Amino acid sequence: MINNLQSLKSIAPGLILALIFCLFSQGINNVIAIEIFGTEKSPISTVLIAILLGILMGNAFTPRPGMMIGLDFTQQYILKLGIIFLGIRLSFADFIRFGSVAIPLVIFCILGVLILIKLLIKKVSISSKMSYLIAIGTSVCGATAIVATAPVIKAKKTEVAYAIANITLFGVIAMLIYPYFAEWFFENNALKAGLFLGTSIHETSQVAAAGLIYDQQFNNPETLNVATVTKLIRNTFLVILIPLFAFLYNRGEIKEQKYSILNIFPYFVIGFIGMIILRNLGDQFFSIGTDNFYTWSKFIEYLKILATIFLTMAMAAVGISINLNELKSMGYKPFVVGLIAAVTVGIISLIYIETLKNFFI
């Protein structure tokens, strides 16, 4: 009991700070909309304000170590809880429909980035370990994939740091730009925009934030649903790719690989699917027009609001944790590889979607 109270006290300052940034961002959003533009909706979404505000404050003032414990907790656990709650928005039929379209696209993007990185390192002199880390971070699920892959290929801490810096930099840039690009390019087609966001942005948090930005700015919640499903499918490919990378990197060496499928499986995907099942069972169980259905509908709305709050808190925490000085000190060659990989996965996604667009109508 005492340990639980101590843990709660240690994470509370960072959690409260992330929540304050979330609420403050919503307040700024309202001021921009009502006072400046005289409209109901601001041209800048709350999530976008939260991460930019976080980057600004995090680099202007150094967060205390005590704050970072709660901010790290927010990025790791509150984010995943927000993503799980997003499942309440989906029917199981939609999940199957979106997933069946997304799986081939995810495979194309992963293969394209792996082949590109293999060719690129012959021209740009970076270590093969770092190239593996950048490849899996770009094609699968960002920093999580990098951290999970590093031990099985025996990557150095500096190589891990460079790879994560790549994913952070280009993922954040894509998160800020791609929702508006997707609206322009796909002309408010929710399925196409969601597939693009879900495959071309690196981190799960960044994809969820980009989908939320799209939803808030263009009033299209289905895009967030498609992007989330697509990204979670990408995440599950860790189970295949990490053993594959371990084999490719260590082939020819007689040694037992130390990795566990249980440790690398993204369990919050199961929580997301569980929330979809809960939504569908609830819709079947509670009859339309009854008091129980009204209560059930309110419960769904509350979970949707909590998902938005949790994701906004997580992006504020991400922004506060980004140290721009560290990014500047890392040299340019790994960032060249990361940039080309990031652009490539976006181009592959666009080509795939446009080539098969008749199937999405």
Q: Could you give the CA distance from residue 172 to residue 155 in angstroms, rounded to a whole number?
A: 24
pLDDT, mean of residues 10-28? 91
Using one digit for the tens of pLDDT, what is the confidence trace for 279-293? 988 888 886 666 788
Query: Which of residues 2 and 47 earns the better pLDDT score?
Result: 47
Question: Of 27-41, 136-150, 278-292, where does mean pLDDT reach its minimum?
Answer: 27-41
Please state, for a pLDDT cut of 70, what percent of the chain lies above it: 88
Tokens matching residue 214? 């799209």
> Has residue 176 got a pLDDT over 80?
yes
Report the pLDDT value the prediction gives residue 2, as an integer from 0 to 100.
46
Residues 248-290: pLDDT tens digits? 666 655 455 555 666 666 788 889 999 999 998 888 888 666 6
SS3 43: coil
In one-letter notation, the amino acid at residue 201 is I
Record the pTM.
0.85
User: pLDDT band at residue 243, thresholds of 50, 70 and 90?
Assistant: confident
What would the mean pLDDT of 207-231 be, rounded to a whole number? 91
Specify the pLDDT at position 10.
Answer: 87
| 3-state SS, residue 330 | coil
Q: Kindly state the tokens that stand for 348.
A: 């592959």
Answer for the pair 212, 311: CB distance below 8 angstroms, yes or no: yes
What is d(CA 285, CA 271) in angstroms, rounded to the nearest whole number?
21
More confident residue, 239 or 73: 73
Which range (39-43, 201-205, 335-339) has the least confidence?
Answer: 39-43
Provide the pLDDT for residue 255.
Answer: 52
296 contacts: CB under 8 Å, gap ≥ 6: 282, 283, 286
Q: Nearest 5 degrees, angle CA 257-CA 258-CA 262?
A: 125
The alpha carbon of 260 is separated from its chain's Cα centroid by a whole number of angstroms, namely: 23
Confidence tier at 3 by pLDDT (50, 70, 90): low
Report which of 349, 110, 97, 339 is spatially closest to residue 244, judged by C-alpha positions. Answer: 110
pLDDT of 193 higher than 80: yes
Q: What is the mean pLDDT of the chain?
A: 83
DSSP code, position 63:
P
Please give the pLDDT value at position 358: 66
Question: Can you tell me the mean pLDDT for 149-166?
Answer: 80
Write down the pLDDT at residue 254. 46
Query: For residue 36, what are the CA distances in angstroms to 20, 23, 30, 213, 338?
Result: 23, 19, 9, 20, 38
Stretch 97-105: mean pLDDT, rounded? 89
Q: What type of residue sits at position 96?
A: I
Q: How far from each other are the two terminal CA atoms of the chain, in whole angstroms?
A: 55
The reported pLDDT for the residue numbered 52 is 87
CA 266 to CA 261: how far, in whole Å? 10
What pLDDT, on a 0 to 100 scale, did the predictor assign at position 37? 63
